[in-house]
Structure 1
């Protein structure tokens, strides 16, 4: 596997209409090669529909998707979808051996993938006995059989405990480190914010925000909540020192971003403002996601004339960012 500069995936103006229900609307984003991009939003935001369109399993009603990874065969993209598509009575090893010929992989590749995904010790266990995190590992092992440059993963953190999440983070970062690209989805920002290089936030079938995790945090910083008397005098004194992001709360306390506790106390002393208490208020990533999105409501709209008449039926913590 080797990477190349540019975009691995480019989504332009994509919309998808199912009868009178618009699933996604005028979606534009790029997936840079050699990076992890996460589609994030509540259930029903359109994430799975978009991933299926990217994979060619559904055709968009409007717009287009361009794939820019090396190769054009089935080995160029590996996918993990929901449901995972695992036969409950097959063993882990037998499942991979069934799919290896389809991926153009030899039998020894099965053993390598078992080791890479940590499944070697349970290779003779039947799928029905695996917990959800192990089933996701097996689905991911299947996607890795052809060593594809692009991985497309639908909510890979579902059912994963903290150990599984850490393992998956390391595997995806390792894939990118070898020149690969990842496009994944999640209902929870907290699950992906430490892994992703780029976030695309969806709400009700549209993109409402996109950028890096660092940019998102700058717009939604952790705060120190200060009980001061008078609070307005402290806010004015902080603003004079360049700390303009201070919000007065209903209880009269001041929520201050970017300033340290020692700075706040120093400014308060100089302004002769009495400080009662200072407590931290770290913002959880999923609070940020809730502020950007809203639960999906079924939205009926007139059918859109497709550019291509062919149509497919619908398929049944704190941030902790290293970057």
Structure 2
């Protein structure tokens, strides 16, 4: 099985999604990939325990991709070995009435991870420069000054939002949050197969939404806006990784391995040592408990 190098997926220069493969041959069968994933899961779990005790760094995992790209199943598989208190998952849906009374980043601030913990955003604040670009009429629900109709939303509006997101992520990074952003690069043909699978298998019917077909009609628009958003916000403090998503097992392993490798760069993490006075009296306390 080929080794995984995070730098092979990191965005370090402007990308063209059409030129990036959606599948990565790894010369490995499903069982071997699952075994490799399990090893990384267990290492991540131990590392998270140390981070929780160290209590200085937080980790924000951002997952973006088209419908059926495998975000939900990846969360289930990659983080299954974690202590439940160490990871929180947030799936951001259409903003509700209360959320629309605040700026678009407000609800994401509320969900940021505490020190020592992981937060996984299943769809993120990037929806505000993706879905709203495909459907700019959604912006009108935000009741913004100077935006009375779709025609008021200029190209500069989107540039401003991307700049705001960069500032937001820089602020988080400077205050101890490691940010890792993953785009699940799914082919349109593979999405077609997965949607058809949901319709043909009764146990998966509940996963199907007519809305998925409607959004599929805007595929090219989404690809263009994903490119623009990734290119405008890929940097050292909040890197983007484009992960081939046609093979779910492989994409899970790639993401897990990248998270593991990036966390290793936090070299100051160590479990706190026992107070010297307590440590010198360990035998005394042990004897007390044996009486």
Query: TM-score, length-normalised on structure 2?
Result: 0.33
Q: Highest relative contact order (Cα 8 Å, sep 6+), 1 or 2?
A: 2
Query: TM-score, length-normalised on structure 1?
Result: 0.31
Higher Cα Rg, which structure: 1
From the two aligned structures, give the one with the greater strand fraction: 1
